[in-house]
Every structure is written in structure tokens, then in C-alpha cells.
Amino acid sequence: MSNRFELPNTSRELLERAREVAGAELRPIADAGAPGKLKRELLAALAKHDLLPRLFPASLGGSRDGNVSALELCVLREGLAQRCTEAETALALQGLGAYPIVQSAGPETAGRWIPEVARGRAVAAFALTEPGAGSDAAALSLKAEPDGDGWRLTGEKKWISNAPAADVYSVFARTSDEPGSAGVTGFVVAGDASGLGGEQLELVAPHPIGTVTFDGVHVGPESLLGGVGEGFKVAMRTLDLFRPSVGAFAVGMGKAALDAALAHASEREAFGRELRRFQAISQQLADMATQIEAARLLVYSAASRYDSGERVTKHSAMAKLFATEAAQKVIDAAIQIHGAQALERGHLLEELYREVRATRIYEGTSEIQREIITRELYR
């Protein structure tokens, strides 16, 4: 990146390509399937168009020369979100579920799973949250007890995207009685492991999400993500990478809502003039565009900092916080400008309104992002 304010041409081209593929190829696949259900054909199409493999290094079956680029992840998410949120989320969840394995599993385990995830043949999931541990992730209680040369996992995860149908889970469990983050260890768990169960949940978020139950699930020593007791850091490092990209998803949705509002305000007339001729509307359009632009700058600044190796915990939290809050406001304003038609089921804005809400909760609520930012300010 030549500076922190403009995307390089190659990134702009990738964004445009992601948007086009999403509209022409992915949207029809998403619309043909049942709402909220896992769609493997969407992952296959994301792989066929070389979008999903771009998240992973060629050495692990992806199509990148090197490690992940946070900038490219954001570009892909923003582009896909503008035309097909379901494809966007399918791509993002493969990354979120798989990155603990890319970054922290042994080469054999990474080689077993990542090429399959990168090619859309295996579905990945990130399993941190529990019924009793959401924002306070270090309070998790899924128990991992020594079992032969491995461990036995007992307990429950909840609100896990892609569960219970995922093929591979990055799971965070407690390996010692020590309270807090020090007793947390990460494991790779195969979706068909004996004793693993779960059920789908119906949520306002339209992507697949469910519970995962562990009834004495045995995992071997090769399943470790990092060292024993290092799992919390594995999870936090993954979130540092993915939080700006949740912001990019929000920017993409906000842009789609702004475009719809701009078109409507210049086509629709009331009291003898176009809606955009009313100051009440034109001032809102200006604020919406400014919010989206500010969000975009924060997102790509955090991503480019990540790629240059900087510590990004604060910027990552700022990008997610601002972009998701901004997108919620922008989508709400776009609905207000449209009136009742935007509330009809199946209208783009009705979809975006349902889709954007969860982004202020998952991967750390807005309140947690603020907590992280303030802690970093005092570091």
C-alpha cells in the first residue's frame, strides 16, 4: 500500500471482481438454498472463482504466495457483502474457523485440514463462546482432561457459526483448574468425532449457527493449537486478524444500503419533487456517505497495520466498533428514506437490517471493543 488512505489498484480490482462474482454467480446459489442452512455449494463456488483459496498460503493448498493478508481479507469481504452477504459470511467463517489451525497447529494437522477448507470441501468453525461465557471468554468451562496421550473434552459451546454441521472445529477448552485465561488450551476437533453433537439455532443472524456438545470427545496430542495453556492467546490473535474484516463486511453492507438510498432518493418523488431535493433527506445522505467513508478508512488502516506486522489490538477493535455501529445507522436511515417498501420480506434493505445486527455482537460486542480500546490506551 503506497499510503494508508488509498487501496492499491490490484486491491480495487479484486474488490470489483468479488462484487461481480457475488452478484452474478453466488447470489443465485444462495437464493436457491434454504435460509440459514449451510450451503456447501456456495463454498465450492467461492473456491472455483479463486476467492476462498486466496485466504490461505499455497503451501497449505490455498493460492497466496505468503501468509494471509488482512487487507485482502477485508477487500474480499467488502466486495462480496455488497452483492451477497451469505457468500461473504461463508467465506469469512472458513477463515475464522481455520486460522487458529493455520497459525498454531502442527504441520501435519494443518496439512490435513487447511487444503480442504481452502478448496471449500471442508467446513470450518471457531468454537469459543459457551452458554455461560460470551464477552468474558476466559471464563469458559468446557473441560479437557488428560486421556491416554491426548485429552477428553466434556461440555458445551453455543452460538457457534457453522455448527453443528462443520467438518472441523477450532475449540477452546480448560485444561487446568486455574481460573481465567491461563488454563485455556486450543484443540482441533473433527466434526465426526465420537461424542460430538449439537443442534441448529434459529437466530436473527441469517447464517447457520448452533450448539456443539462434547460428551467425552477424545482428541490426540496432534490436535493441540499452540501449547497447553496458550489457547486464549491463539483465540485473541485470530480475533485481532478478523475484527477489522467484520468492519469490512459492515462497510460493504453500508455501501449497498447507501447506493439503494441514493437511487431511491433521485427516482422517487413526493410533493412534486425528488426526495433528494428535501434537505431532511439530502443531509442524511451526506451523513451516511461520511460514516461509510470513515469506517472504510479505519478498516483498511487496521488491516494494513496488521500486514506490516504492527500490534493491532486497538486499531482492530476501533475498526470493528466504528464500522458495525455506522453500518447499523446507515442501513436504518436507508430504510427510513425508502419507507414501507424496504420492510417487505426479501427487500435488500430488510435483509441487510437483519444481517447487520449480529455484527455488533459477534467477535466481541461493541462494549467489549470499547473495553479493549481503553485498556490499550492505558498500556
Q: What is the DSSP letter of 34?
A: P
Stretch that binds ligand COS, among 65-73, 105-113, 254-262, 359-367 (CB under 6 A): 359-367
Which member of 57, 62, 226, 364 binds ligand COS (CB under 6 A)? 364
Tell me: does residue 368 bind ligand COS (CB under 6 A). Answer: yes
Residue 206 CB, nearest approach to ligand COS (Å): 16
**What nine digits make up the cell of 40?**
456447501
> How far apart are CB 358 and ligand COS at their closest, in Å?
9
Is residue 249 within the footprint of ligand COS (CB under 6 A)? no
Instruction: Give the Cα separation of 170 and 190 in Å (integer).
Output: 9
Choose between 162 and 313: whose C-beta lies nearer to ligand COS: 313
Enumerate residues 309-348 that contact ligand COS by CB under 6 A: 313
Cell numbers for 7: 487501496
Per CB under 6 A, the list member of 233, 268, 277, 357 interacting with ligand COS is 233
Q: Taking CB under 6 A as the rule, does residue 209 contact ligand COS?
A: no
Whole-angstrom CA distances from 367 to 243, 321, 364 are 14, 8, 8
Is position 237 an interface residue for ligand COS (rule: CB under 6 A)? yes
Please answer whether residues 43 and 123 qualify as being in contact, where contact means their C-beta atoms are separated by less than 8 angstroms: yes
Q: x/- contact string, 173-202, with ligand COS (CB under 6 A)?
A: --------x---------------------
**Taking a C-beta distance cutoff of 8 angstroms, is the pair 180, 138 a contact?**
yes
Distance from first CA to last CA of the chain, Å, rounded? 28
Distances (CA, A) of 49 to 21, 43, 119, 367: 8, 10, 10, 37
In contact, 16 and 7? CB cutoff 8 Å: no
Q: Which CB atom, from 135 or from 266, has the smaller least distance to ligand COS?
A: 135
- What minimum distance in Å lies between the beta carbon of 126 and ligand COS? 6
Q: How far is the CB of 37 from ligand COS (least distance, A)?
A: 19
How far is the C-alpha of 143 from the C-alpha of 132, rounded, in Å?
A: 13
Element (H, E) at 156: strand 150-161
Helix%, strand%, coil% for the chain, nearest 5: 60, 15, 25
Determine if 135 is a binding residue for ligand COS (CB under 6 A).
yes
Q: Of 2-10, 11-19, 326-334, 356-364, which part binds ligand COS (CB under 6 A)?
A: 356-364
Confirm or reject binding of residue 362 to ligand COS (CB under 6 A). Answer: yes
> Half-sphere exposure of 335 toward its Cβ, with a 13 Å CA cutoff?
20
* Residues near ligand COS, by CB under 6 A: 126, 128-129, 135-138, 181, 232-233, 236-237, 239-240, 313, 362-364, 368, 371-372
